[in-house]
Amino acid sequence: MMKAAVLNHLDGTFQIEEIEIDEPRGREVLVEVKASGLCHSDLHFAEQDFGVPLPAVLGHELAGIVVAIGPEVREFSIGDHVVGSLIQFCGHCPACIGGRTYQCFHPEETLRGDHDHDHPHRLTRSGAGVSQVFGTGAFAERALVHENQLAIVPKEMPFAQASLLGCGTITGAGAAINTASVRPGETVAVIGIGGVGLNVISGAKLAGAARIIAVDRQPQKEVLARKFGATDFIDASKVDSVAKIRELTGGGVDHAFEVVGLKATSEQAIQMARKGGGAYLIGVHSPTSTIDLNVTIDLLTRQVDVRGVYMGSTNIKNDIPLYASLYLQGKLNLDDLISKEISLADINEAYTELKGGSIARSVITTF
C-alpha cells in the first residue's frame, strides 16, 4: 500500500488515497519518490480528455532512490539515485537504433501489456486497475517504472532540483539545444515563462544565443526570466509581442519557441520567426485545438520551419546526467525554478497557483 494523489474525475483535482503498487517484474524498477515536480502537462491531463482511463495517477517529473529491481534489470542497483522521464522507448526499433529514442516506434513495450494476464496493472485500488499515466505515476510515495524511463544522477544532486531534469529541463533546454540547434550569436524568442520556458532560456544561453527575448503576460516573470539569461522581456498583456519582436530584431528571431499551448501564441511564434527561421511548438493544446497556418506567406514565402517538439528531442541516458553535471558545476540554474517545496496533500492548492501564472515550479518533497 502507498499514498497517491488520485485523479477520479476530469475536474483538475486530486484525492489523496491509499492504493496498491505491485512488486517489480522483468525490467521494472521500484523507486521511492523523494521529489515530484508539478508540470502543467499533468494539469492538462487532469482537466481534459486525452483518453486516459480513470482513476489515474499522474506525475512525471520524479527523482528518488531505487528500492527494488526486477530480475531482468541491468542498469540499476538498489540505492541508486535516479530521475524518471515520460519518454518511453524500446531500444531496438529503427528510431532507437538511430539515436532518436524520443521517436521510438514501440513506446508501449515499456509498459505491462494486456498479454500479462496475471499482473496487468502496476497500480490497483481494491483490486481494480488504476492508470499509471506516462508509465511514471509520480504523484505517489513510490513509482514502478521501466528501466528505460530512468537515468542515474550523482548522489550530490538534491532531489527537488533533480526532479526538474525529468521534464522541464530536458524539454526546455533540449528544445533549444537538440531540436532547434541554436548556434552562438543567434536570436531567440520564448513565449510562456513557466517551468519549461525558463529552461528554454537556459538552453539558449548554454548554446550561446546573443539575444533571448522572453514573452509572458505576467509582468512579474521578467525578474525570473532575466535571472536565467533573458536579455529582453515583453509583457504580452500590454504590448503586441510580434510587432515588438520584429522591431527589436529587424524582422524576426532565428528561433521562436511557444511554451504555453494556445492557438494564439502558437501562431505568434510562427509570426515572430525571421525569414528562414524556425517556430517550435512545445505547449500542449487541448485535444481538439488546431492552428491556422498561411501556407503561401508563412511556409512558401517566409520559409519558416514549423516544428512540433516532444520532450526536447532528448536521449535521457545521455542528457539527464549531462544536465545534472552542468548544475553541479554551477552552469545550469535549477534552484530558481523551484518556487515552493510542498507536501503531496498540497497538490490541488499548488496547481491552482500554477494556473495563475505567477510561479515557476512547485515540487512535492513530503509524501
104 interface partner picked from ligand NAD, Zn ion, none, CB below 5 to 8 A per type: Zn ion
Q: Please report, as residue ranges, which positions from 75 to 114 form the binding site for ligand NAD (by CB under 6 A).
A: none
Q: Which of 55, 59, 192, 278 binds ligand NAD (CB under 6 A)?
A: 192
193 interface partner picked from ligand NAD, Zn ion, none, CB below 5 to 8 A per type: ligand NAD
- CB nearer to ligand NAD: pick between 33 and 282: 282
SS3 letters for 63-110?
A: EEEEEEECCCCCCCCCCCEEEECCCCCCCCCHHHHCCCHHHCCCHHHH
- Binding window for ligand NAD (CB under 6 A); candidates: 200-208, 291-299, 308-316, 320-328: 308-316
What residue number has its CB nearest to ligand NAD? 194
- Binding window for ligand NAD (CB under 6 A); candidates: 212-220, 246-254, 297-305, 333-341: 212-220
Cell representation of residue 39: 508540470
Q: Compute the least distance from the CB of residue 135 to ligand NAD, in Å.
A: 15
Q: Compute the least distance from the CB of residue 65 to ligand NAD, in Å.
A: 24
Interacting residues with Zn ion (CB under 5 A): 39, 41, 89-90, 93, 96, 104, 167
For CA atoms 84, 88, 90, 92, give the dihedral sign: negative
- Angle, vertex CA 155, rays to CA 153 and CA 156, nearest 5: 105
Please state the separation of Cα 315 from the chain's center in Å.
13
According to the binding rule CB under 6 A, does residue 354 interact with ligand NAD?
yes
According to the binding rule CB under 6 A, does residue 191 interact with ligand NAD?
yes
If DSSP codes are grouped into helix, strand and coil, which group holds residue 263?
helix
For CA atoms 118, 123, 125, 131, give the dihedral sign: negative
102 interface partner picked from Zn ion, ligand NAD, none, CB below 5 to 8 A per type: none
Distance CA 99, CA 101 (A): 6
According to the binding rule CB under 6 A, does residue 5 interact with ligand NAD?
no
DSSP 8-state symbol, 53: P
| Cβ–Cβ under 8 Å, residues 103 and 89 | no
Q: Compute the least distance from the CB of residue 291 to ligand NAD, in Å.
A: 14
If DSSP codes are grouped into helix, strand and coil, which group holds residue 184?
coil
Where do contacts with ligand NAD occur on this chain (CB under 6 A)?
39-41, 44, 167, 171, 191-197, 215-218, 221, 236, 259-262, 265, 282-284, 309-311, 354, 357
